């Protein structure tokens, strides 16, 4: 019997990822989720998403969060906060988790466009 090649999963990403290691702040946006503030460092990012490692087991697929990326300090006027959705949680060695976020929209701006979208004149 010959080995069948495993079917490849369809690529779901719409934009290229870059290896960017920048701090971010993640907080739940839903009142039903226990409040926490996670300050991980990104592993990679694109204009539509961020992937990071954490020790927190609170994340679940479909969870809505506020994410500030990049995050320098709470009072930095250059911080950009997004509403994001957890699209994947992976169990990693040493009690760590890999979390993939899809950025849905920016918070505190006049436009509710998705990150990376452009306006035509």
The whole-chain average pLDDT of the chain stands at: 85
Structure-block tokens of residue 69: 């990326």
Does 117 map to a domain? Answer: no
Q: Tally the domains of the chain.
A: 1
45 within some domain: yes
Please report the pLDDT score of residue 6 as a whole number. Answer: 47
Is 8 contained in some domain?
no
3 state SS of 82: strand
C-alpha span between 24 and 2 (Å, rounded)? 47
**Is 2 among the domain residues?**
no
> Which tens digits make up the pLDDT trace of 75-86?
888 889 999 999
- Cα 73 from chain centre: 19
Range of the domain at 78: 25-107
Does residue 43 sit within a domain?
yes
For residue 19, count other CB atoms closer than 10 A to its CB.
Answer: 9
Residue 25: phi and psi, rounded to 5, are -120, 130
The answer to whether residue 116 sits within a structural domain is no
pLDDT of residue 23: 96
Residue 109 confidence class, pLDDT cut points 50, 70, 90: low
Q: What is the band of 91 on the pLDDT scale with cuts at 50, 70, 90?
A: very high
pLDDT band at 105 (very low <50, low <70, confident <90, very high): very high
Answer whether residue 119 shows pLDDT above 60. no
The pLDDT tens digits for 8-50 are: 545 555 678 899 999 999 999 999 999 999 999 999 999 999 9
Strand stretches in 1-121, DSSP E = 25-28, 42-45, 49-54, 64-68, 81-92, 96-107
CATH (domain of 39):
2.40.30
- Give the tokens for residue 91: 């169990």
Question: What does the pLDDT read at residue 121?
Answer: 41
Report if residue 49 sits inside a domain: yes
Which of 20, 40, 36, 17 minimizes the C-alpha distance to 28? 36
| This prediction's pTM | 0.77
């Amino acid at each position: 019997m010959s080995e069948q090649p495993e079917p490849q999963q369809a690529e779901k990403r719409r934009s290229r990822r870059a290896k960017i290691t920048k701090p971010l702040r993640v907080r739940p946006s839903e009142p039903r989720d226990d409040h926490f503030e996670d300050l991980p460092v990104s592993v990679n990012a694109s204009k539509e998403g961020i992937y990071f490692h954490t020790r927190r087991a609170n994340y679940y697929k479909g969870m809505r969060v506020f994410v500030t990326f990049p995050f320098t300090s709470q009072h930095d006027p250059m911080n950009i906060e997004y509403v994001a959705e957890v699209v994947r949680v992976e169990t990693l060695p040493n009690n760590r988790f890999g979390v993939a976020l899809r950025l849905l929209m920016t918070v505190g701006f006049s436009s509710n466009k998705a990150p990376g979208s452009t306006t035509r004149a």
